[in-house]
Every structure is written in structure tokens, then in C-alpha cells.
Amino acid sequence: MNYLFILLNIFFWIYSIENAYNPIPVGSIIISTTRSISILEPKEYGGHDKLTIIYSAMKNMTIIHTIFDLSHRQIYVLYMNSNSSDVFIRQLISMEKLSPIIVRLPISFNTTRINRLTSFAGDVQNKRGFFIDETGVVSMFSMSGTMKSIIKMPINMTQPVRSVTFNEDFNRLYVITDSTVSACLNLDGNELDCCHATSKVDQLRSIVFNPSTSQMYGYVMDEISGLYQVVLNKTTGCPKFLRAMDTMGSYENIHLAVDKNLYVCTGSTDQLKHNSILIISNGVQMERIMPFDAPIVALHISYSNKRISIEREETCFKGITYYDYRVAVILAAIFGTIMGIFMCFNALFCIDFFMTKQIIRNLKSQIPRNLLEDRWNRLVEEKYAKLALESRTILSFSLLINQINSSYV
């Protein structure tokens, strides 16, 4: 039984170490649906388009968005419970495990309107997020749940806002409406001063940036036609015009993620608005699709600005790979467990030795001293009596021998 308990402890430590490892690898697409979060390592990154679920939503839980921290590969989950109208945010800390820290966000959301012209955006550097409802109202909230404010749009921006993203390099909030792309300053003062692209496109839905390239471009997705590149003024960050790039197939597109020549978006067919189809394109070959069994609510790409080759394994500590690090930690845990077992046995032996000595000492202390002295005296008397008897027997035998000898004489 003890050995079984020890083995269970070893397996528990191995399992804990394995699950504590960041489940989001470099060079992967992160797909968040209302029911799960999955990673896909695409062919463009040397993968096999294999889908792996890293988090499954709990019962009565609906995921409505995820915010991704590219620098540390951390993902934050926005969700709602069926018995509550509140929106909560928690960090995914390991495979299938969320942080015990739960934050209630100061926003309200209707899960029946998922992907119905509603969108979220995250600015993890400043620990804040943006929520755009179907009427175009933009709410900015802190990820700590302590702040919320309604962003006032310029009076000349008459169309409803469909998506926003914040660019740290230009310190601008990029805003798209149904047909325009704008870049706005003075977000912190809530008095936006915006510049606009000259060209317009109908039914714009998403805007993202591609910071993994040396040239800064924005990308927008319309609902029907496909993908456009936003050419920016390199000094001010103002959008100059839109350049058509790829059709991304005949789908009604919503979410978008871009990394170099990898373009990923979501779509629907047959006017169902289910938004459960993932479309992947590299701008050269025909796009490929992957259906999901739940609406997709967010897309991210995990990439590294310092990555030299997409096939190169991610390393840490000056060339030691994360695989080597995990193996070393697991072996150290096993070795430490074995040493702990030996130390326990040694401790038990020492305890047993000293307890035995203490028991003997206690037993001796319970025997009366007079009894010990009487017993000792009796043993001495018996010993002397035995010696005296033996001496008398020998003397009698000697006298008998002498008498026999004298009779012969």
C-alpha cells in the first residue's frame, strides 16, 4: 500500500509538471469557440494542420472572446455563465486549467448575439480591452474590472463602428466602420482626433496588424470579398489607402489574424451566420477550410519576432530547448521523490531505535530497586552455595581415596 501511494505521488508530480508547461507553442493558430480553445500548427509553419484542444469550457459556461499576450504566450478567457448575466475573465495557466483568480468585467453581453456585428479587441500591454456592440458603441474596460468608459467617436464618423485595435508603435486606436478605416489619437483623453484612408470598402468587419514583419501594415477583412492591406504613413501611422489582396473564398467573414504570409479568418455559409468555418490561406495556393462544431469567437497567431526559422525549435536558457528543460524537471522530481523515500526510511529507523531505548529505560525504571538488589543477592548466595557444595564434594572424595590407599598398605 505504501509503495502504491509513493507511485501515485510520482505520477502526480509528473502530471503536474507536464500540465504546467505552456500549452501554446510558437508557430500556432489559436482558435477560440464558444465551447473550447484549440491550437493548430499549420503547414506554413512546418506543422500538419493537426488540431489540439487545450481548454474545454465547463458546463453552463460560454466563451465569448479571448485576449492573447504575444510576448509571454498567455491567453485570457472572457466568458459568461448560463445562470448569470455577468462577464468574467480568467487566465489559462496550463492545459485545461484556468487561474483561480476570477475578475468580473464591467460590461454586459448577450450570448444570443455572438458574432452578430459584435466584436472584442484586446490591448494586453495596457491591460485593457474593447467591446463593440451591434449598434457601434465602443466600450473600453480594464482587465482588472475596475474601469469602464464609452469611447466618443468624432462627429464626422457617422457609420457604426465594427472593430477597433490599438497599435502601441503609433499610439493610435485604429477604427473601422462599415466602409472606412481611421487612425485616432488622444484615446486616453477620450477626445479622438482621427485621420482616414482615402479608399472605401463596403461591409468591413475586422482590422488587425502584422507586427512580425519589418514593414508595418494593417489588414482589414470585409464580409464578402476578402482581405485588404492598409498602407500606412510610416511617420504618422495614418492610413493612406487600401490594397486588395485575397478573396479568402466565398464565405461571410468576421474574425481575422495575420502573420507574414499566413492569413486566417472565420466565415459562414448559406446565410446561417454560424461563423464556425476556419479559412487558412498563404496568398498563393487555394485556401483550405476546417469546420468546427461551435461558433468561433476569436483568432490569434502565436509567433516570435526573433524567430529565424519557423522549423527551429523554441529555446530558453541559451540554447536549451523547452523539451530538455521539461525532461530535466521531471527527472529531478523523480530523483527527489526517491531520495525523499530513503530519507523517510532513515528517519523511521532512527525513530524506532530511540523509541526502543526509551521503552527499555522506562521498563527498567518501573522495576523496584529493592527487588533488583534482592534478586542480585540471591544470585550471589546461590553461586557461593554451589561453590561450597562443589568444594565439600571434592574434599570427601579425596578422603575416601586416602582411606583406600592406607588399607592396601
In a domain, 91, yes or no: yes
- Measured in degrees and rounded to the nearest 5, phi and psi for residue 48 equal -125, 25
CB 131 within 8 A of CB 78: no
Amino acid 346 reads N
Whether residues 334 and 260 share a domain: the answer is: no
Q: Are residues 86 and 128 in the same domain?
A: yes
Considering Cα of 213, then 265, then 184, then 140, what sign does the dihedral take? negative
Whether residue 206 sits in one domain with residue 342: no
The stretches in the chain having pLDDT less than 50 are 1-5, 8, 12, 14-19, 306-318, 409
Q: Quick one: pLDDT at residue 128?
A: 94
Residue 17 lies in a domain: no
Domain's final residue, options 312, 337, 358: 312
Q: What span, in angstroms and rounded, lies between the C-alpha atoms of 216 and 206?
A: 17
Per-residue pLDDT tens for 37-79? 999 999 888 888 999 999 999 999 999 999 999 888 899 999 9
333 shares a domain with 307: no
* Separation of alpha carbons 292 and 302, rounded Å: 20
Same domain, 230 and 356: no
Note whether 187 and 96 are same-domain residues: yes
- Distance (Å, whole) CA 247 – CA 222: 10
Q: Count Cβ atoms below 10 Å from residue 76 Cβ, excluding itself.
A: 21
pTM of the predicted model as reported, rounded to 2 decimal places:
0.71
On whether both 63 and 177 belong to a single domain, the answer is: yes
In this structure, are residues 276 and 98 in contact, taking their beta carbons and an 8 Å threshold?
A: no
Residue 9 lies in a domain: no
Instruction: Report pLDDT for 309.
Output: 39
CATH number at residue 241: 2.120.10.30
H or E stretch covering 86: strand 86-94
Q: Are residues 140 and 201 in the same domain?
A: yes
**Domain range holding 120?**
24-312
pLDDT at residue 81 in the model:
93
The reported pLDDT for the residue numbered 408 is 52
Do 192 and 297 fall within a single domain? yes
- Contact call for residues 232 and 238 (beta carbons, < 8 A): yes
The torsion angles phi and psi of 97, rounded to 5 degrees, stand at -140, 130
Whether residue 283 is found in the same domain as residue 204 = yes
Q: In terms of C-beta density within 10 A (0-12 exposed, 13-18 middle, 19 or more buried), how is residue 390 classed?
A: exposed
Give Cα 231 distance to the centre of its chain: 36
The whole-number pLDDT of residue 72 equals 86
pLDDT of residue 165: 95
Kindly give the interhelix angle for 2-20 and 322-366, rounded to the nearest 10 degrees. Answer: 150
Torsion angle defined by CA atoms of residues 192, 154, 159 and 254, in that order, rounded to the nearest 10 degrees: 0
Instruction: Give the chain's domain count.
Output: 2
> 275-288: per-residue pLDDT in tens?
899 999 887 778 89
The pLDDT of residue 317 is 43
Find, among 205, 249, 207, the residue nearest to 225 by Cα. Answer: 249
Distance (Å, whole) CA 66 – CA 79: 9
- Assess whether 247 and 343 both reside in one domain: no
Residue 117 is predicted with a pLDDT of: 86
Q: Is 4 inside a domain boundary?
A: no
Sign of CA dihedral 384, 390, 391, 393: positive
Task: Please provide the DSSP assignment of 5-46 as one string.
Answer: HHHHHHHHHHHHHHHHS-S--SSEEEEEESSEEEEEE-GGGT
Same domain, 200 and 102: yes
